Structure 1
Amino acid sequence: MSALMHLIYSSAATQVFTPEDLAALLALARKKNASLAVTGMLLHIDGSFLQVLEGEPEAVDGIFRTISADPRHTQIVTIIREPIPRRAFSDWSMGFAEVTAEELADLDGANDFFTGGACLTRLNSGRTKKLLGAFKEGRWRSRLSSASMAASAARREPALRERPPISFAFQPVYDASEHTIVSHEAIVCGPDGGPPDAALNQCHTAQDRARLDMEARVLAIGLAARLALPTGLTLSLRAHHADQAAQALRSVLDTATQCGIEADRITIAIDQDQLIGDPIAFASIIQQYRGAGLKICVDHFGAGRSGLSQVETYQPDSIALDENLVRDIASNGPRQAIARGIIQTCDDLGIDVIARHVCIPAEYDWFRQEGVSLFQGPLIGAPKFETLTRDLPSPAQWLP
């Protein structure tokens, strides 16, 4: 299990930093960071700073305590503190970039913020992630991070003691801003593509259902690998207890490694209404495996117990809106108000919103106008039995 984390904070200088002052500050930081195996980067604009520290938690937190006590810094705000599967800045003990306001205003996804003259000390986690994404893709640095993963090993489908009578259909998740398929959700079905009744009828106890649930994810990963999955993979987690969740997620990681699918291509969709027991213990397990690379999606968001409180508890990478919230939203004012609140909150926190079960063009159009770019549903593409969707027609062909 990874013991790495990153901490991202902003601060304002209490004094003017000359180029010589910045050089001296960086020299000391790089020396100390190297001794503690801490890496990261620092952005500076007009007296405000944004810094990323990554390494083992004890080392990162120790450095941050020292920074917080430094009288040269004020308005210190922790924006993000979370586990990470690997370093994004492993080649630098402390990379540095002097950024101009004009460059920030040109940043896609955050230009509305920076064109208003806002500084780094007012960044939220959502815009911070967009800023770091641009940095890691090459903006403001002379070379890319060396933290990319190596090519995967040869794929092979994992063996089970007795294969259950199930298979899978795969439904695409579409990114409208890039016109590309970014993931496929594995949907369990029977071996002929119909309902999985035979498998379900063999489950007489809760233990039987838990075993089938775990075996299903193993088979889904193996089938996706055999189909040469080029995108992400979304899997449902139906564990009822924290110990079941830990066992299930360990199985996902082990199977993905065996099949040559990187952990950060797998999204685990959790349904709060399936959980029995302590949600805090469950969330702790979830965060451990996020640190190993798995992504987390809160499913059926806006229904049952799945609401904004779950965002704080699970700190997901994405949320998938419930079908009842999406249906006919273009003509339903109360649903629109609820959805706008969710979208705004998720944007502030850097959480992706997926509009699922989109069936008609009016639903798609409404969410696009609200800034949502991720879609799933019959309008986009139906589930395909043991087949991946390789490409989609232009939206002009399925929109009026």
Structure 2
Amino acid sequence: MKKRFYIAGLILASSLSMGQDKVVKLEESVITSENTETTIADIPKNITVLTGEEITQRGAKTVAEALKLVSSVIVKEMGGADAAFDIRGQGPTAKSNVIVLVDGAPINSIDLSGYQTSNIPVDNIERIEVIPSGGSVLYGDGAVGGTINIVTKAPENKKNYGSLNSEIGSYGLKKQQITYGTKIGEKLLVEVDYLKKEKDGYRDYSKDDLQSFGFRSRYKLNDGELKFKYNYSKNDFKAPGALTKDEVNEDRTQSNPNAWRIDGKTEKNNFVGDYLYNINSDLEFKLLGRYAHENYSSNGSNYKTEVKYLKPQLKYSYLDENYVVFGGDIYQGETRDFAYGNGKSEKNSLGGFIINSSTIEKFRFTQGYRRQNIEYKGDRFVTRKFKEDAIELTGSYLYSDWDLHM
């Protein structure tokens, strides 16, 4: 099968070629860097796609462990808290300069403190897409370092199917998962799953337990489709405090009861809806919506967060392999701190963007512009309103139609 790729990709592949050949099938990896399905070869960006199969084969148990397999991402462990993902050497500001998405909807916190990925079951991940220095036009503030899109599995087009898995491993790992899916009529696909995982850490006073329930549906329309996903998760965790040098030499697995230790719980409900309507052969309308409600408690802290997100867009295809995308997004987030005076923090955002992709012979160019109005207010913020502009100019040369081997 013929594949197109860029000169930069060829140089990188040549430097990494060794051992067993692995065919990189660029046109089989569907990505969503512009909130629309396309292939890696058709996007002039340095995109890495990590499939669910690769995650399973490498034994990754969390999103953080999975992203350690991606060379462009530096995973920074946070001493019991959720890991930070550093792209392009953002350093201490990594969490506020990388946007993490689940099925195209951002999950970053409203106070720029980052994201929580420990309560996302890796067994339900279809693929993870990593786009360094890409996403500011499409997703707005927070994408200076790059974008990570976690795409969860969709129901299969089968009448009845399912699986029952049980796993026992080191550090007290016990995991059970059951999945069942079915096809109702000719248009509706449904899948449900339940996961329970218990795991201790390397050191005393370490725990990472997860319970998750998921519901996924896909309804085929005459000129499009409607997807709906719901996930409930509950994560109980503990992390030991720091040790002195003498304590490490004595027993590095111990926990110092006098040191600051983490003991917390996160409970989250996440709803995502995705509507696609093909108005005609050249015009496509897409609407993405997310609602999330989260409770977080740890060491006396008690937060409740509510997020609403809506993203409509139109894609118009003109001439051959040329298209333009018009869209916008509305974000409303609120966090209440019930432990310290019932404080409240809010973030409200309204953005609009346009992206144009054109092809001239073997040259492909993308131009994008975004304007976003953002407001932070509440007890934890000094009320602030500002406008943000983002511009994107990229180009690539489609060097060949060969297959790429690594």
- When the two structures are superposed, what TM-score results if normalisation uses the length of structure 1? 0.26
Q: Which has the higher strand share?
A: 2
- When the two structures are superposed, what TM-score results if normalisation uses the length of structure 2? 0.25
Q: Which has the higher helix share?
A: 1
